[in-house]
Amino acid sequence: MPAPLMTERLALHRQRRKDIDDYVALDMIPAVRRYLLPLEPPPAAERRQELTDRFDRGWPEPGAMWTVTDRGDNRFVGWCGIFPLEQSGLMEIGYRYRPKAWGRGIATEAARAVLEQGFGVLGIDPIVAVAHPENIASHRVLEKIGLQRQGVRHHYGLDLAFFQIDRQRS
Protein backbone atom coordinates (compact mmCIF):
# COMPACT_ATOMS: atom_id res chain seq x y z
CA MET A 1 0.00 0.00 0.00
CA PRO A 2 1.61 3.28 -1.05
CA ALA A 3 2.41 5.88 1.57
CA PRO A 4 1.08 9.42 1.20
CA LEU A 5 3.49 11.78 -0.54
CA MET A 6 3.90 15.52 -0.16
CA THR A 7 5.54 17.91 -2.59
CA GLU A 8 5.79 21.67 -2.43
CA ARG A 9 2.27 22.20 -3.84
CA LEU A 10 0.69 18.76 -3.87
CA ALA A 11 -0.56 16.03 -1.58
CA LEU A 12 -0.68 12.53 -3.03
CA HIS A 13 -2.60 9.80 -1.23
CA ARG A 14 -3.35 6.24 -2.24
CA GLN A 15 -6.44 5.82 -4.35
CA ARG A 16 -9.59 5.40 -2.28
CA ARG A 17 -13.16 4.50 -3.13
CA LYS A 18 -14.25 8.00 -2.14
CA ASP A 19 -12.08 9.35 -5.00
CA ILE A 20 -13.95 7.40 -7.67
CA ASP A 21 -16.39 10.20 -8.55
CA ASP A 22 -13.44 12.54 -9.17
CA TYR A 23 -11.75 9.93 -11.38
CA VAL A 24 -14.96 9.37 -13.37
CA ALA A 25 -15.54 13.12 -13.81
CA LEU A 26 -11.95 13.51 -15.03
CA ASP A 27 -12.45 10.74 -17.58
CA MET A 28 -15.56 12.46 -18.97
CA ILE A 29 -13.73 15.68 -19.95
CA PRO A 30 -13.24 15.67 -23.75
CA ALA A 31 -9.93 17.57 -23.59
CA VAL A 32 -8.55 14.98 -21.16
CA ARG A 33 -9.54 12.17 -23.55
CA ARG A 34 -7.91 13.82 -26.57
CA TYR A 35 -5.07 11.28 -26.73
CA LEU A 36 -6.85 8.29 -25.17
CA LEU A 37 -8.67 5.38 -26.75
CA PRO A 38 -11.50 5.20 -27.01
CA LEU A 39 -11.93 8.92 -27.58
CA GLU A 40 -15.49 8.69 -26.31
CA PRO A 41 -15.64 7.75 -22.64
CA PRO A 42 -17.68 4.78 -21.52
CA PRO A 43 -20.92 5.60 -19.74
CA ALA A 44 -20.18 7.08 -16.31
CA ALA A 45 -21.86 4.18 -14.48
CA GLU A 46 -19.73 1.67 -16.40
CA ARG A 47 -16.51 3.60 -15.66
CA ARG A 48 -17.49 3.92 -11.98
CA GLN A 49 -17.98 0.13 -11.74
CA GLU A 50 -14.67 -0.56 -13.51
CA LEU A 51 -12.82 1.73 -11.10
CA THR A 52 -14.62 0.28 -8.07
CA ASP A 53 -13.55 -3.21 -9.14
CA ARG A 54 -9.95 -2.06 -9.63
CA PHE A 55 -9.79 -0.25 -6.30
CA ASP A 56 -11.36 -3.21 -4.46
CA ARG A 57 -8.82 -5.69 -5.82
CA GLY A 58 -5.86 -3.44 -4.99
CA TRP A 59 -4.86 -2.74 -8.59
CA PRO A 60 -2.13 -2.07 -9.68
CA GLU A 61 -0.04 -4.51 -7.68
CA PRO A 62 2.99 -4.44 -7.75
CA GLY A 63 2.66 -0.76 -8.65
CA ALA A 64 0.71 1.97 -6.93
CA MET A 65 -1.75 4.75 -7.69
CA TRP A 66 -2.02 8.12 -5.98
CA THR A 67 -4.82 10.67 -6.06
CA VAL A 68 -3.27 14.12 -6.46
CA THR A 69 -4.76 17.09 -4.60
CA ASP A 70 -3.73 20.71 -4.24
CA ARG A 71 -2.18 21.27 -0.80
CA GLY A 72 -3.64 24.78 -0.67
CA ASP A 73 -7.32 23.91 -1.04
CA ASN A 74 -7.28 20.07 -0.96
CA ARG A 75 -9.06 19.95 -4.34
CA PHE A 76 -8.66 16.98 -6.67
CA VAL A 77 -6.37 17.77 -9.60
CA GLY A 78 -5.78 14.27 -10.99
CA TRP A 79 -3.89 11.06 -10.46
CA CYS A 80 -0.40 9.66 -10.96
CA GLY A 81 0.82 6.11 -10.63
CA ILE A 82 2.95 3.20 -11.71
CA PHE A 83 1.08 0.29 -13.22
CA PRO A 84 1.58 -2.62 -15.65
CA LEU A 85 2.04 -1.61 -19.28
CA GLU A 86 -0.30 -3.89 -21.18
CA GLN A 87 1.14 -7.26 -22.16
CA SER A 88 4.77 -6.18 -21.77
CA GLY A 89 5.96 -7.26 -18.33
CA LEU A 90 7.06 -3.65 -17.78
CA MET A 91 5.79 -1.08 -15.30
CA GLU A 92 4.60 2.26 -16.65
CA ILE A 93 4.37 5.66 -15.00
CA GLY A 94 1.24 7.49 -16.04
CA TYR A 95 -0.94 10.39 -15.00
CA ARG A 96 -4.08 12.27 -15.86
CA TYR A 97 -5.02 15.80 -14.74
CA ARG A 98 -7.85 18.29 -14.95
CA PRO A 99 -7.24 20.93 -17.64
CA LYS A 100 -6.96 23.66 -14.96
CA ALA A 101 -3.77 21.91 -13.77
CA TRP A 102 -2.15 21.83 -17.21
CA GLY A 103 0.86 24.02 -17.90
CA ARG A 104 1.61 24.64 -14.21
CA GLY A 105 4.25 21.96 -13.60
CA ILE A 106 1.87 19.82 -11.56
CA ALA A 107 2.33 16.69 -13.68
CA THR A 108 6.11 17.02 -13.41
CA GLU A 109 6.03 17.66 -9.65
CA ALA A 110 3.79 14.67 -8.93
CA ALA A 111 5.60 12.37 -11.38
CA ARG A 112 8.98 13.10 -9.77
CA ALA A 113 7.62 12.04 -6.37
CA VAL A 114 5.99 8.92 -7.82
CA LEU A 115 9.10 7.98 -9.80
CA GLU A 116 11.19 8.20 -6.61
CA GLN A 117 8.72 5.91 -4.82
CA GLY A 118 8.74 3.54 -7.79
CA PHE A 119 12.49 3.05 -7.65
CA GLY A 120 12.85 3.25 -3.88
CA VAL A 121 9.92 1.84 -1.95
CA LEU A 122 8.39 -0.27 -4.73
CA GLY A 123 11.72 -1.47 -6.15
CA ILE A 124 10.60 -1.19 -9.77
CA ASP A 125 13.36 -0.98 -12.37
CA PRO A 126 13.16 0.03 -15.17
CA ILE A 127 10.16 2.36 -15.32
CA VAL A 128 8.69 3.11 -18.73
CA ALA A 129 6.00 5.34 -20.20
CA VAL A 130 4.07 5.64 -23.43
CA ALA A 131 2.49 8.76 -24.86
CA HIS A 132 0.57 9.63 -27.98
CA PRO A 133 3.00 10.94 -30.62
CA GLU A 134 1.17 14.29 -30.73
CA ASN A 135 0.99 14.73 -26.95
CA ILE A 136 4.11 16.90 -26.76
CA ALA A 137 3.21 18.21 -23.29
CA SER A 138 3.33 14.67 -21.91
CA HIS A 139 6.62 14.00 -23.73
CA ARG A 140 8.10 17.06 -22.00
CA VAL A 141 6.93 15.90 -18.56
CA LEU A 142 8.51 12.49 -19.08
CA GLU A 143 11.77 14.03 -20.27
CA LYS A 144 11.84 16.48 -17.34
CA ILE A 145 11.67 13.59 -14.87
CA GLY A 146 14.51 11.82 -16.67
CA LEU A 147 12.89 9.31 -19.00
CA GLN A 148 14.54 8.99 -22.38
CA ARG A 149 12.70 8.40 -25.61
CA GLN A 150 13.34 4.95 -27.01
CA GLY A 151 11.41 5.08 -30.27
CA VAL A 152 7.87 3.93 -30.94
CA ARG A 153 6.02 0.86 -29.63
CA HIS A 154 2.52 -0.45 -30.18
CA HIS A 155 0.38 -0.37 -27.03
CA TYR A 156 -3.26 0.32 -26.26
CA GLY A 157 -4.09 -0.05 -29.95
CA LEU A 158 -1.77 2.74 -31.11
CA ASP A 159 1.82 3.34 -32.13
CA LEU A 160 3.04 5.39 -29.17
CA ALA A 161 6.23 7.20 -28.19
CA PHE A 162 8.07 4.92 -25.75
CA PHE A 163 10.17 6.28 -22.87
CA GLN A 164 12.34 4.53 -20.29
CA ILE A 165 14.49 5.22 -17.26
CA ASP A 166 16.63 2.88 -15.20
CA ARG A 167 17.32 3.38 -11.51
CA GLN A 168 20.99 4.13 -12.15
CA ARG A 169 20.03 6.98 -14.51
CA SER A 170 17.50 8.57 -12.19
57 contacts: CB under 8 Å, gap ≥ 6: none
In the chain, the percentage of residues whose pLDDT exceeds 90 is 86
Domain ranges of the chain: 5-169
Closest CA to 69 of 22, 118, 119: 22
pLDDT of 82 higher than 90 = yes
Mean pLDDT of 31-46: 90
- Can you name the CATH fold of 5-169? Aminopeptidase (3.40.630)
Mean pLDDT of 133-146: 97
47 contacts: CB under 8 Å, gap ≥ 6: 23, 24, 27, 28, 41
Helices (H), the chain: 20-27, 44-56, 106-119, 136-144
Task: Supply the mean pLDDT for the chain.
Answer: 94
pLDDT of 170 higher than 80 = no
Using CB atoms within 10 A of its CB, is residue 145 exposed (0-12), middle (13-18) or buried (19+)?
buried
- Model pTM? 0.94
Q: Report how far residue 42's alpha carbon sits from residue 84's, in angstroms, rounded to the nearest whole number.
A: 21
